[in-house]
Amino acid sequence: MVGSIVHQLTKGITAEEAEKAGLGAYYTDHGLDVYPQSAGGFPFSANAIACKGDPIANLQEDLAAEQKARATYEKLIDLCKDNPDVVDPLRFLREREIVHFQRFGEALRGVQDKLAEKRMFAMGNCNWNNNNNNNCQC
């Protein structure tokens, strides 16, 4: 969707129009292809794919990422406010980030419960079977 927006916003523009819009460098390197980069011109970086190998850390990262994406959409909506054809899909995309945030929050609570369960099971490892004593001290 975002690629489609960029494509339609640049469709058929001339080199001069690109340059005037601040896209001279972009036009030089990529023409009118849609190239994954930041607004500042940095090409897509795998740094964005934070994977820590820890479910809690990962889900917290995802919650923050959804909020950052929402904030970015709000800035874009502000910048594009004179063009309703652009604002409309941006608003839709912003709302999706909020739903994803909500679902990640629920998933995180589930993971926390699951990990708490595991810890209790580990405590039960101390000779449950051989020891009928409920006052296990370990």
Partner 1 sequence: MWSYNKILQYPIKIKNPDPRLAKFIISQYGGPDGELGASLRYLSQRFGMPDQKSKAILNDVGTEELRTP
Partner 2 sequence: MECNNNTCSCNCTCKENSKCPTREEMMNDVRGFNFAIVELGLYLDTHPDDTRALALHKEYCKCYKEAVERYQKKYGPLSIFYPCNKWRWLEQPWPWEGGNF
> How many Cα atoms are found within 13 Å in the side-chain-facing hemisphere of 86?
19
Query: For residue 52, which phi and psi values (nearest 5 degrees)?
Result: -100, -5
Q: Which does 22 bind (CB under 5 to 8 A by kind): partner 2, partner 1, none?
A: partner 1
* CB-nearer residue toward partner 2: 1 or 64: 1
Q: Is 60 in the site for partner 2 (CB under 8 A)?
A: no
Q: Is 32 in the site for partner 2 (CB under 8 A)?
A: no
Q: Is 4 in the site for partner 2 (CB under 8 A)?
A: yes
Q: How many CB atoms lie within 10 A of CB 108?
A: 17
Q: Is 100 in the site for partner 2 (CB under 8 A)?
A: yes
What b/e readout covers 15-41, taking b as 16+ CB neighbours within 10 angstroms? eeebeeeebeebbeeeebeeeeeeeee
What is the C-alpha to C-alpha distance for residues 18 and 34, in angstroms, rounded to an integer?
13
Window contacting partner 2 (CB under 8 A); options: 1-9, 40-48, 51-59, 62-70? 1-9
Length of the chain: 138
* Identified binder of partner 2 from the candidate list 42, 106, 125, 130, rule CB under 8 A: 106
Among positions 29-88, residues that touch partner 1 (CB under 8 A) are 34-40, 42-51, 53-55, 58-59, 61-62, 65-66, 68-69, 71-73, 76, 79-80, 83, 85-86, 88
